[in-house]
Each structure stands twice: as C-alpha cells, then as structure tokens.
Structure 1
Amino acid sequence: MEFPPALTRYAEWRRKESRQAMISMAGKAIRKWWALFALPTFAAFIIGFVIPFIMGVYLSFCKFTTVTDAEFVGLKNYKRAFADKEFLHALGFSTALTIITTIVINVVAFAIAYMLTKAIKGSNIFRSVFFMPNLIGGIILGYIWMLLLNGILAHWGRALTYSATYGFWGLVILVCWQQIGYMMIIYIAGMQSLPTDVLEAASVDGANGTQTMFKIIIPLMMPSITVCSFLCVTNGFKLYDQNLALTNGAPSNMSEGLAMNITRTFYGRMGWEGVGQAKAVLFFILVAIVALIQNKLTTSKEVEA
C-alpha cells in the first residue's frame, strides 16, 4: 500500500521536528547542568596537574628540602644540571634508546598488522598473543627479562650489569617486546579503515605489491603512523620502571635513562633536590619539543583518503 505524497512529506516533516526538539532539549539540559559534570574534572586537573606543575617550575629555581623552605637561587640549579656528566650520559642513553625502539616497534608492528589483516586462520588468536605483553606491568616485565637475559649471558660469564651495552640492548628488547602488540592494534584499526575502492583501482591499473604498499597503503596510514610514533617517542623518553627492574642503572649508573637519573638526583643526593627539579623541567621541555617536531613531520605526510 502506497501513501499519498503529501502524507509522506508530512511524516518526514514530523520526524525532523521531533529530532530537532530532542536536540533542543538535550542542548538545554547541557547548558543548565554542564558545570555539575565539567567543574569537578576541571578542578581536579587544576589541583592535580596545573598547580604542581607551576610549583615545580618555580622550585627548579630554588634550593630546598621541602616546599616550605625554598630559597631562590636563580639559574644555579640548571648550571649544575648541565654540568652533571651522568645527566648528559642519561640524555644520550634515552635518546638512542628512543630512536631505535621507535623504528623497530613501528616497522615490526606495521608488518604484523599487515599480515594479520589478511585472511589468515587464527588471526584473532595471534592478535591476542601479540597484545598480551602490553598487559603486564613494567616492573614485572623487567624482572622476567632480567632472568631470561642473564640466563643467556651466563654462558659467556656475563650479566646485564657487566656493561652498559648489555643493559641498553636488554632494554631495547624488553621495550619492543612490550609495545609491538599495542602499536599493532592501532595499525590494524587503520588498515581495516582503508578505502577498498582505492586498493581495487590500484590492482586494476596493474600496481604490484611494492607500489601498492609505498604509494597507497603507507600514505593513507600516516594518521596511524603519527599516533604510534608519538607514543613510542614519549614512552621511550619516559621509561622508568623497566629500567629500574632490569638494570637499576648498573654498572655505575651507566645504563640509566633520564627518568631514573632525575629520580636518583632528587631522592638520592642530599642537597640536590633543586637540581633534580631543574632536570625534570628540562626533561619536560625536551620531550615536548621532540614530540611536537615528530608529530609535525608525520602529520605533514598525511593525505586525504
């Protein structure tokens, strides 16, 4: 049975009016009650982040043991931080670790994601297995890999704490093993949203696998690459608990990253609290600058699907 055109138009008009009325009611409710939901979160953000951050920046210019006895000393803490050879070594250690792990994690995670988006039997099981290491805490992972790597190195009479080189590559293995599965999930989500018509057109035009990968898939996957690269860069510089459990900086603090060096300076060296705070501010500035540059570079490569 067909309805008259006039009746159909009236029904459509009524649906639009009802939808607009619901949107209007929701808007009124939001305008009336937004503070009830937004202000507690905003207050928590101010109290838990903004105020401590501002105090931390101020304390980096002070000599103190507690926040109540801070004495302003200007740039003295920053001068001592830059003169600290262990801090400069930790900076180089974290930088090298971040560069290597970012490249390895993204390349391997991308390759695994590409394989698991194909019609492979048991692909869901493989996804779960690769993702599982990310569910384990960093301290536990550090102790697990310490036992494994020390067991292997014991055949040559060595240990992770024998040389900073062993500790460095041990951390590289640990971080890659932990984070590849997480980045893989992001890449899988990106690949599943690729426009199939573009891929089919490339196949019809005779593009081979290499051309399709580098000319179509990777350019269209740049948003996912941007996210994964950003996470790898920030995680690499912020690494602490795995570093603590695996080597604890041994030997002679030569295998400690920036986060561990800052913590040891602040809590382990009497009278260096201000220097530790200055290092923390420098650490924040460094990570922010590197993350912004990396994000800018990868975002500039993104294309419209």
Structure 2
Amino acid sequence: MVSMVGKTIRKWWALFALPTLAAFIIGFLAPFAIGVYLSFCEFTTVTDARFVGLENYTKVFTDGTFLHALWFTVAFTIVTTIIINVAAFAVAYMLTKAIKGANIFRSVFFMPNLIGGIILGYIWQLLLNGVLAHWSRSITYSGVYGFWGLVILLCWQQIGYMMIIYIAGLQSLPGDVMEAAAVDGASPRQTLFKVTIPLMMPSITVCSFLTVTNGFKLFDQNLALTNGAPSRMSEMLALNIYTTFYGRVGYEGVGQAKAVIFFIIVAAVALIQNKLTTSKEVTA
C-alpha cells in the first residue's frame, strides 16, 4: 500500500525536480551551448560575436603549441595514472594489515590532498629548484624537468586520496571468499592477483577515472610550478587554452575552439577508460 508521502512525491515530483533542473540548465547547458557557438565565431565579448565557420578549428590544428600540449598531457596522464594507482593500492594494501599506527599513516598520506593546487605548485617549485640548484638548473630549465616535476607533484597530492578509496574497497571484500582461498592453499601472491584485485575492480574503475580526468584537466599546479616554461615546452592543455584565450588579442574564438576540443577529448577518454575497466568487473 502506497503511503501518503509516496503519493505526494509521485504527484508533485516535477515541482521538486524543477529547481535542480533549472540550475543545471542555467549553470551548465546554456553556457555550454553558448560556448560551442562561440567556438565558430570571432569575438572579444559575447555581444560582438561574428560567425566565421571552421576558421577557429583550422587555426587550432595548425597551432604547434596546442599539438605539443596535447601530447605532453597524454604522456603525463598515462604516467601519473599508472604511478598513482599502483602506489595508492600498495599503500592501501599495507595499511589494511594489522600494523601499529595505521590510522596515523592514513591521515599523513591523505593530508597533501587538502592543500590547494596553486600553493602546492609554489611549494614544489621551491623544493625542486633547491634540489636542482646542485647542478645549476631549475625546474624551468627544460620541458623534461617540468614534466617530471609535475608528475612528482600530482602523485604526491593524489596518492593519499586514491588510497582512501582503495582502503574502503579492501575492507568491503567478502571474508568468506578470502577464507576459501586460504583453505584451498592459495599463496599470498595468488590471493592478491587471482582474488583480491579482480574483486577490487569497482574501486579500480573509480580511481582510474579520477586520475585520468585529473591528469587531463590539470591547470593550477602547471601554472604555479612551471607556467609552461621554457618556451611553453611544459605547457599542458588547460594552460594552453588559458594562455590562448587571455594572452592573445583576437584569439578568443580560437581559445574557445580549443576548449570544445578539450571537452571532447576528456569525455571520450573518460568514457573509453570507464568502459574498459567496467568490463573487467563483469568478467571478474
């Protein structure tokens, strides 16, 4: 029998959903649609937009800085996704064992995630420049230094966050399955790779999705640590879009076109990654 509350919700659900729907349309759908339209225009403000067709997109794909930033970002995302997930899982696996001070270690590993990206960038700039000063170098000496500096920074920040997700997954593993593996004589290595990791695929899916999207969208750490130096060699996609839109007069449309392409790339990569890891959950 349907309760009075259930009848009321069923009757007035549209009214309850309207504020959220309106906020979604005003805050996301409308700006997104306007942004896509402006990517086909030449403009300095929204009111003086002039339609130019695919001209902005042509300029994007002939812009060497954008193509370099794309490959730089792809390489960065692949490296950080692997390192962060492997390290976070290893730390989580150790901290779910009966060791003294496990809760303290969890807090220590998680703390870097509480620091803002801009602050982290400047802190690591000082640290890395202090190390490189021994060889009379700086973090902006070459794009390679900038690449690995960004990798170190993001890994240091994100490992603790992903560790928490992996700990939650490890603690929710069915105990009877683990006991059955032990009874059957499975070694710790066999239990890890044949039982634990397959059962952890939902957590791996979430962490992989977050690290992939965070890698592609990285902006504030890149801005603070290297600001693209030297000669935009350590510039990632988000920073490249920012410098195009705000740093070159008359290139606002090109910057908007880059932003649309950026959205398509991140969405496609995230969907593919999510599909691949989710398929492993079904077969596990």
TM-score (norm 1): 0.91
1:61 correspondence with 2:40: yes
Task: Give 2:28's match in structure 1, choosing from 49, 59, 64.
Answer: 49
1:214 to 193, 218, 235: 193
SS at match of 1:127: helix
Matched, 1:261 2:240: yes
1:247 matched residue in structure 2? 226
2:142 counterpart (163, 185, 191)? 163
In the other structure, the counterpart of 1:128 is 107
Change (3 A) 1:66 1:223: same
**Which whole-Å deviations, capped at 9, do the CAs of 1:114-166 have from their partners, x for residues lacking one?**
01111111111111100000010000100110000000000110001111111
Offset, 1:44: 1.1
Q: Deviations over 1:55-76 (max 9, x none)?
A: 1111111111111111111111
> Structure 1: how far apart are the matches of 2:15 and 2:83?
46
Between the aligned partners of 1:99 and 1:218, the Cα distance in structure 2 is 20
The separation in 2 between residues aligned to 1:168 and 1:129, in whole angstroms, is 26
Tell me the C-alpha RMSD between the 2 structures: 1.2
- 1:224 aligns to what? 203
Kept after mapping to 2: 8 A contact 1:97/1:236: yes
Q: Superposed, which structure 2 residues align to 1:82-161 within 5 Å? A: 82-161=61-140
The answer on 1:28 being equivalent to 2:7 is yes
State yes or no: 1:298 paired with 2:264: no
Deviation at 1:37, TM superposition (A): 3.7
CA distance in 1, matches of 2:18, 2:93: 43
Q: Is the Cα–Cα contact under 8 Å of residues 220 and 303 in structure 1 kept in the other structure?
A: no
Q: For 2:16 and 2:160, how far apart are their aligned partners in 1?
A: 35
TM-score calculated relative to the size of structure 2: 0.97
Query: Among 280, 296, 303, which residue is 2:259 paired with?
Result: 280
One-letter amino acid of the structure 2 residue matched with residue 86 of structure 1: T
* Alignment partners' CA distance in 1, 2:241 and 2:74: 15
SS at match of 1:254: coil
Q: After the TM superposition, which segments of 4 or more aligned residues of structure 1 sit over 6 Å from their partners?
A: none
Matches of 2:4 and 2:114, distance apart in 1: 42
What does the per-residue CA deviation read over 1:156-201, in whole Å, with 9 as the maximum and x for residues that have no partner?
1000111111111000000000000000000000011101111110
Q: Which amino acid in structure 1 is aligned with residue 80 of structure 2?
A: T
Q: Is the 8 A contact 1:150 1:160 kept in 2?
A: yes
> CA contact under 8 A between 1:77 and 1:278: conserved in structure 2?
yes
Q: Which runs of 5+ in 2 are unaligned?
A: none
Following TM superposition, by how much is the alpha carbon of 1:41 offset from its aligned partner in structure 2, in angstroms?
1.7
AA matched with 1:101: T
Stretch of structure 1 that moved more, 56-65 or 295-304: 295-304
> Aligned AA for 2:44?
T
- Match of 2:47, SS state, is coil
1:182-227 deviations in Å (ceiling 9; x for gaps): 0000000001110111111010101001111111101000000000
Cross-structure match for 1:203? 182
Distance 1:25 1:224 in 2: 39
The secondary structure found in structure 2 opposite 1:256 is coil
Distance 1:26 1:112 in 2: 46
Q: Distance in 1 between matches of 2:83 and 2:12?
A: 48
How far the C-alpha of 1:33 sits from its partner, in A, is 4.7
- Work out the CA distance in 2 between the residues paired with 1:93 and 1:174: 16
Describe the SS at the equivalent of 1:249. Answer: coil
Instruction: Name the amino acid aligned to 1:218.
Output: I
1: CA distance, partners of 2:135 / 2:173: 49
Give the letter aligned to residue 125 of structure 1: I
- State the partner residue of 1:74: 53
Q: Percent identity?
A: 80
In structure 1, distance between residues paired with 2:124 and 2:9:
51
Distance in 2, Cα, partners of 1:268 & 1:276: 10
Q: How many residue pairs were aligned?
A: 284
